[in-house]
Amino acid sequence: MKILVVGSGGREHALVWKLRQSPRVTEVFCAPGNAGIAQGATCVPLAATDVLGLAAFAKKEGIGLTVIGPEAPLTEGIVDHFQQEGLRVFGPGKLAAQLEGSKVFMKALLKKYGIPSAQYEVFDQRDQAVAYLDRLTMPVVVKADGLAAGKGVIVAQTKAEATAAIDCIMTERAFGTAGDRVVIEEFLAGEEASFLAFTDGTTVLPLPSSQDHKAIFDNDRGPNTGGMGAYSPAPVVTPALHEQVMAEVMLPTVRAMAAEGHPYKGILYAGLMIKDGRAKVLEFNCRFGDPEAQPLLMRLKTDLVEVVEAAIDGRLDTIRLAIDPRPTVCVVMAAGGYPGSYEKGKIISGIAAAEEVEGVQVFHAGTAAQDGKVVTAGGRVLGVTAIAETLAAAIAKAYEAVGRISWDGCQYRKDIGQKALRRQ
């Protein structure tokens, strides 16, 4: 079978890496891919949002299965178009992908079906949003309604910060049309975790727990990013909490989407806030997380092609996931200046030496090939991922490998996984 993976980040490199392990796969293509993906797949110069071009390529090349990595093509309806063209594709349709594409849609669904989340209000006028702040206790959370590459959520400690956040989104249009509406939410205290599951619209098959690190600097300081590292499992998700999330979040959400006429197939990713042993939903994503995909797919032992096909065909109840019991850790290495402005084209050295560390896989994100060398081509550049017998050993291996890689201005957090260690 020929496989097409759509996207160009660390998540897509991890997907290509995992799909290539299936004995059923003869060839893997990736559009548009990156320098690391090119070592294990044929990169195709098509943008992830070029829905018509991607479908035409899949038909011409005889692609047996397409796996969509990023959220943008999902919210633009790539799955619907592929299905209309008779192509097999993994991911939710356009209406189902509103769970991520519109925070207003998501919050309204959770409220209607009694799924635990923060209290909120929606505004499409800047002055009304600012006036509403007088009724609230700080801190609050201000969110752009649409997609903002993981950066459209601002935690405001004061009314002045909240007003600035509203102006950033609605007046300065920092996220374009994603800021036509804002959601203002109560601030939920606690510890975050990521809960990802495969679903075929009826059955929900959870992956192990994981935890992302959103802020750019150690100790969760600084602006939010697309994610600076992740590990799995996350001990904050206890067996009892796992049961609560399945019973009160995952299954009710899949049933709610079906009841609304938007049956959800694909990866359902709940971003959770956990306090006093209970979880509330912060957000939903309609695809694998990045960087959570890297440690999760490293632990998944089941053939990913088999799982994906079962989800597409509505027979996920026949699948049992085999999971490596060993913990995994991913440390993201980013360009200097990220998540603000940063330079591209910096020559990266040491990747091969890093992969010589036992149990380490370096997943490329923002990289490109240039004159026979690998250079930086994005904000998040590499996801250095390690597996070991203990979490402490996995952290040590990941950072040993990180220490072998360098380029001018690279930055990374030094505390990935420390929250988990404190819980042991």
**pLDDT of 373-410, one tens digit each?**
999 999 999 999 999 999 999 999 999 999 999 999 99
**Amino acid present at 246:** M
Segment holding 116, helix H or strand E: none
pLDDT at site 224: 85
**pLDDT of 48-68, one tens digit each?**
999 999 999 999 999 999 999
pLDDT at site 152: 85
Question: How far from chain centre, in Å, is Cα 315?
Answer: 25
Q: Are residues 348 and 414 located together in one domain of the fold?
A: yes
**pLDDT of 303-321, one tens digit each?**
999 999 999 999 999 999 9
pLDDT-based confidence at residue 148 (cuts at 50, 70, 90): confident
Question: Domains in the chain: how many in total?
Answer: 4
Q: Please, which contacts does 216-224 make with residues 24 or more away whose CB atoms are closer than 8 Å? A: 216/334, 216/338, 216/339, 216/411, 216/413, 217/413, 218/413, 218/414, 218/415, 219/415, 223/151, 223/339, 223/340, 224/150, 224/151, 224/153, 224/154, 224/339
Q: Which residue has the higher pLDDT, 152 or 280?
A: 280
Segment holding 62, helix H or strand E: none
**pLDDT of 91-117, one tens digit each?**
999 999 999 999 999 999 999 999 999
Considering only CA atoms, which of 20, 321, 310, 339 is closest in space to residue 151?
Answer: 339
Residue 98 lies in a domain: no
Q: CA-to-CA distance for 416 and 316, rounded, in angstroms?
A: 33
At 295, give phi and psi (nearest 5°): -70, -35
pLDDT-based confidence at residue 223 (cuts at 50, 70, 90): confident
Residue 117 lies in a domain: no
Q: Which of 6-15, 151-160, 175-184 has the highest mean pLDDT?
A: 6-15
Is 237 a residue whose pLDDT tops 80?
yes
Instruction: Give the SS3 label for residue 38.
Output: helix
Last residue of a domain, one of 155, 180, 205: 180
My answer on whether omega of the bond before 139 falls inside 30° of 0, hence cis, is: yes
Q: Are residues 49 and 139 located together in one domain of the fold?
A: no
Instruction: Give the SS3 label for residue 13.
Output: helix
Last residue of a domain, one of 93, 115, 141: 93
pLDDT at site 424: 74
- Tokens representing 176 are 């374009």
**Amino acid present at 74:** L
Q: CA-to-CA distance for 276 and 294, rounded, in angstroms?
A: 29
pLDDT at site 325: 98
Considering only CA atoms, which of 212, 311, 195, 211 is closest in space to residue 248?
Answer: 195
**% of residues, the chain, pLDDT over 90:** 95
**pLDDT of 247-304, one tens digit each?**
999 999 999 999 999 999 999 999 999 999 999 999 999 999 999 999 999 999 999 9
Q: CA-to-CA distance for 165 and 188, rounded, in angstroms?
A: 18
The length of the chain is: 424
Residue 115 lies in a domain: no
CATH of the domain at 286: 3.30.470.20
Residue 145 lies in a domain: yes
Q: Are residues 235 and 301 located together in one domain of the fold?
A: yes
Across 197-222, average pLDDT: 96
pLDDT at site 151: 74
Is 141 a residue whose pLDDT tops 80?
yes
Which residue segment(s) compose the domain that 292 sits in?
191-318
Residue 100 lies in a domain: no
CATH of the domain at 392: 3.90.600.10
- Tokens representing 335 are 């360009």
β 373-376/191-199 pair status: unpaired
Residue 116 lies in a domain: no
Last residue of a domain, one of 257, 283, 318: 318
Q: Are residues 300 and 335 located together in one domain of the fold?
A: no
- Tokens representing 232 are 């799995």
CATH of the domain at 87: 3.40.50.20
Q: Are residues 295 and 252 located together in one domain of the fold?
A: yes
Q: Are residues 310 and 332 located together in one domain of the fold?
A: no
Instruction: Give the SS3 label for residue 175.
Output: coil
Residue 101 lies in a domain: no
Is 194 a residue whose pLDDT tops 80?
yes
Q: Are residues 314 and 195 located together in one domain of the fold?
A: yes
Residue 168 lies in a domain: yes
- The mean of the pLDDT values for the chain is 96
Q: Are residues 339 and 391 located together in one domain of the fold?
A: yes
**Number of C-beta neighbours around residue 189 at 10 A:** 8
pLDDT at site 149: 73
pLDDT-based confidence at residue 423 (cuts at 50, 70, 90): confident
